[in-house]
Structure 1
C-alpha cells in the first residue's frame, strides 16, 4: 500500500498528539513549583507568569505545533522539535527544560511509525545530537560540572530517542504484518477470481462447442431436406411429405438437445438422455440417410475398449463431420469407418466423395477447432484434409482404455493409410 494511501489514516493522529503534548507539558509546568518545593535539586524554575515562564510556554507550544508536521516531513520536524529547546537552555536554564522531552518523545515515535527506519537514521542522529547539546547547555547553565553534564546529556538523549524508537518499531512491525496479511488475502481473492474466470471461460467454450454441434448437425439436415422438398412438391409429393416428416423429426431433435443443454446449465440430471457413444454413431448415420444423404457405416470390430469421454469425442467428431459434408459437399457419398484396435489405438474416419453440387464456401471454422480441442483433451490425434479423389477426410486416432489427458505422448501411434 502506498504512502499516500496511508496518510488519511495517520492524519487524525498528528493533531491529537500535538494537543496532548502541549496540554501535558503545560500541566507539568504548572505543577513544577510544587515539585521543586519537595526536591530543591529540580530547580531553579521560572516564576509563574514571569517572562521566563512565558518563554518556556512558547517553546512548548512551538514544539507541539512542530509535532503536527512529523508524518509529512519527519526529518525537518525531528530536527526542529529538538532544536527549539536550545533557545530555552541558553535563555532560561533550569528544571523546566526537562519538560521539552514530552514533544520530543512523541515526535520520534510518530516519525518511526510514519517512515521506514532506513530513511530516518540521519534525522534521528541529528535529533539525538541536538537533544544532548541542549541538555548539556542547560546543565552547565544550572551550575553543573562539564563531566556530569556531558554524562547526563548522553543519557537523556539515549532515553528520549531510544525509548520511542523501540516502541515505534514494534508498532510499525505489527502494522506491516497486518498489511502483509491483508495483501495476501487480496492476492488469494484475485487468484480465486482468476481461477473462476478460467473455469467460466472453459465452460463457455464447451457450451459453444455443444451449441455448434447441435446447430450444425440438425439444422444442416433441415436445410438439405427443405431444399429437396422444394423441388419435390410438384414432381414427387410422396417424397416431399417424407422430407417434411424428416424436417419435423430434426426440429424435435434440436429442441430436445437444447433442452438437455439447458438442463446441464441448471445442474439437473437427465436420465433419459441417450449416451453419446460409438454405439450411437449408427443413429447418426440413420438420421442422415433419412434426410436423403448416402452414408455407409463400416465397423471393423464389434466392441472397442474406449473410455466414456473418448467415445463422446468420437461421437461428436462423426456428427460434426457428417454435418460439414452435408453443407460443403452436397450430394457426395459419405463413409463412416470405425477401425479395429491396433497397437493400443483405434481410428474413426469420416470420408466423403466428390460433391455433386457447388461448395457454398468456407464456414466459420469452429467445427474443426472444436474437434481438435476435444481430441487434445483425451490425448488423441486429429487429421483432416482432401483425398486423392477430390473428396475430404477427417481421421481421429484415439487411445484405448480410460484416458483423460494422461496419454503418454511418446507412445507410438498407428500410421494413417496413404
Structure 2
C-alpha cells in the first residue's frame, strides 16, 4: 500500500491523541457521574484492550483514503471485540476514528465506488453498539434503536460534511479546467490572428518589393547598355530609378504607418482609378502596356477595389519578371450582374525566362480574392503568354463567384 499523504498522517495522529486523552480522563469523569457506567482503570487488561483498538483505528485512518472499501469496515469492525473485553461507555470513544475515517474517505474518493462498504461499516458499527449496550444491561429494543442511531450519526454527519466539501472542490476544479480551456482557446485565436496578420504583411511586402524592385532591375540593366551609347537615355533611366526608389520608401512608410496606432487613417488607398497610375509607372520602365479602363464602372467596396489594384500590380510585376519585353494588356469593365471584371494578359516572352518563381504572388492574389468573395483564375494562353482574371461581385453579393475575364473593350496604349 502506498505511503499516506501528510494530511492523513496528521489526522490519524490527532485521532490517536484525542482518543487516548479521553480514555485517561474517562475514569475520573465516570467516578463523579455514575450514569456513565464503569470505566477501565489505566494499566488494567480492559484498558490495554481499549488502547490497542483505538491505536489500531488511528493507524487505519491514515490509509482509509487509499482503500476505503477495505479500511472503513475494519475501523468499524475492530470495536466489536470490545463487546466482550470492555463494554460500556468506553465503547463510544471508538466513534472518534470512525467519524474521521468517513470524512477523509468521502473527500478523497467518489462515493459511488465504495458506498456498499460504507453500508457494511454502518452495520458493523450498529452491531458493536448494540452488543455493548446489551452487555451493560440495556433491553434489546432500546439497544437496537441506540445502535442504529449511533450508526446514522457517526457515519451520516461526516458523510454530509465530506460530500459538501468534495462537491465544492469538484466545482472549483471544474472552474479551473474551464479557465485553462478558455486560455488555450484565447491562445489559439491569438496565434490564428497573428498568422493572418503575418500573411497579410507578407503579401503587402511582396507587392511592394516585387513591383518596384523588378522595375528598378529592368532600368538598371538598361542603364548598363545606355551609359556608353546613349548617355541622355541613361540619365533618364537613372531618374526613373530614383523615382522607383522613392516609391518603395513611400510604400514602406505607408505599411509601417498602418501598423502604428497613430497612423493617418485619411491617407488615400488604392482603387480602380489608380490602376491607370500603376500602368503609367510600368510604361515608364519601358514596358509595353495597353489599358482599357472605362470611366462609368460600378463602385465595389474599398477593400474590393484594393484587391483589384493589387491583382493588376502583381500581374504586371510577374509579366516583367517572367516575360520581359512581352506586351501586356489590362482590361477592366462592368459586368451584367453589377460586378467588375478585369484581366491582365501578357504575350510570349521575347527574352530569356528567369525560371519559375516562388508562387507567393499567385497565392497572395488568391487569398485577397477570397477575402472579398471574388473569383480568380490564371493560367497560360494559347499563344504562349499568361492571363490573370478577376471577377469582383456586386457590392450587395456575398460569397465566391466564378472568375470570368473580360474579353472586349477598347485598348489604350
* TM-score, L = length of structure 1: 0.91
- The runs of at least 4 aligned residues of structure 1 exceeding 4 Å deviation read 411-418
Note if contact 2:340-2:393 (Cα within 8 Å) is conserved in structure 1.
yes
Shift of 1:136: 2.5
CA distance in 2, matches of 1:315, 1:415: 15
Q: Which ranges of structure 2 fall in alignment gaps of 5 or more residues?
A: 409-413
CA offset at residue 199 of structure 1?
A: 0.9
1:250 aligned partner: 244
The answer on whether the counterparts of 2:374 and 2:399 sit within 8 Å (CA) in structure 1 is no
Q: Please report how far the alpha carbon of residue 137 of structure 1 lies from its aligned counterpart in structure 2 after TM superposition.
A: 2.6
Counterparts of 1:324 and 1:37, CA distance in 2: 109
Structure 1 equivalent of residue 280 of structure 2: 286
Matched residue, 1:367: 361
Structure-2 separation of matches of 1:361 and 1:408: 35
Q: Deviations over 1:22-61 (max 9, x none)?
A: 2222232233224323543322210133232232222212
2:38 is matched with which residue: 30, 44, 61? 44
User: What is the deviation of 1:373?
Assistant: 0.9
Say if 2:258 is the partner of 1:264: yes
Match runs of 1:373-388 below 5 Å = 373-388=367-382
Please, which of 158, 164, 172 is the counterpart of residue 170 of structure 1? Answer: 164
Provide the C-alpha distance between the structure 2 equivalents of 1:151 and 1:272, rounded to a whole number of angstroms.
Answer: 89
Counterpart Cα distance in 2 of 1:370 and 1:278:
19
Q: 2 CA distance for matches of 1:284 and 1:204?
A: 25
Kindly indicate whether residue 350 of structure 2 is the aligned counterpart of residue 343 of structure 1.
no
Partner of 1:184: 178
Partner of 2:411: none
Q: Which stretch of the first structure deviates more once superposed, 143-152 or 121-130?
A: 143-152
2:62 is aligned to: 68
The superposition leaves residues 227-283 of structure 1 with CA deviations (integer Å, 9 ceiling, x where unpaired) of 222222222222122222222221222122122222222333136844211111111
SS in structure 2 at match of 1:339:
strand
- Contact (CA 8 Å) 2:297, 2:333: kept in 1 or not? no
Shift of residue 387, structure 1, vs aligned partner? 1.9
Q: Distance in 2 between matches of 1:415 and 1:293?
A: 22
The one of 201, 211, 223 aligned to 1:207: 201
Give the alignment partner of residue 58 of structure 1, picking from 46, 52, 57. 52
Matches of 2:156 and 2:266 in 1, distance apart? 79
Cα distance between partner residues in 1 of 2:145 and 2:167: 32
Displacement after TM superposition at 1:206 (Å): 0.5
C-alpha distance in 2, partners of 1:412/1:313? 16
Shift of 1:74: 2.0
By how many angstroms is 1:122 displaced? 2.3
2:394 aligned residue (400, 403, 413):
400
Contact kept? 1:334, 1:351, Cα under 8 Å: yes
Which position in structure 2 is the counterpart of 1:102?
96
Could you report, residue by residue, the CA deviation over 1:139-185 in whole angstroms, capped at 9, with x for unpaired residues? Answer: 23323344433332222122211221111111111111111122112
Q: Which moved more, 1:74-83 or 1:390-399?
A: 74-83
Tell me the equivalent position of 1:309.
303
In the TM superposition, residue 310 of structure 1 has moved relative to its aligned partner by: 0.6
For residues 16 and 334 of structure 1, the distance between their equivalents in structure 2, rounded to whole angstroms, comes to 88
- Shift in alpha-carbon separation, 1:256–1:412, aligned structure 2, 3 A: closer
CA contact (8 A) 1:343 1:413 kept: no
CA RMSD in angstroms, aligned pairs only: 2.3
Q: Residues 244, 11 of structure 1: CA spacing in aligned structure 2 closer, same or farther, 3 A cutoff?
A: same
> Which shows bigger deviation, 177-186 or 68-77?
68-77
Displacement of 1:302 in angstroms is: 3.9
CA distance in 2, matches of 1:236, 1:261: 37
What's the secondary structure of 1:297's corresponding residue? strand
Q: Give TM-score scaled by structure 2 length.
A: 0.92
2:321 to 318, 324, 327: 327
Per the TM alignment, residue 131 of structure 1 is displaced from its structure 2 partner at its CA by: 1.3
Conserved in 1, the CA contact under 8 Å of 2:297 and 2:340? no
Alignment of 1:18-33 (within 5 A): 18-33=12-27
Q: Does structure 1 conserve the Cα–Cα contact (< 8 Å) formed by 2:107 and 2:163?
A: yes
Which shows bigger deviation, 168-177 or 267-276? 267-276
**Count of matched residue pairs:** 407
Unaligned runs of 5+ in 1: 1-6
Q: Closer, same or farther in 2 for the Cα pair 1:356/1:343, shift >3 Å?
A: same
Stretch moving more, 256-265 or 276-285: 256-265
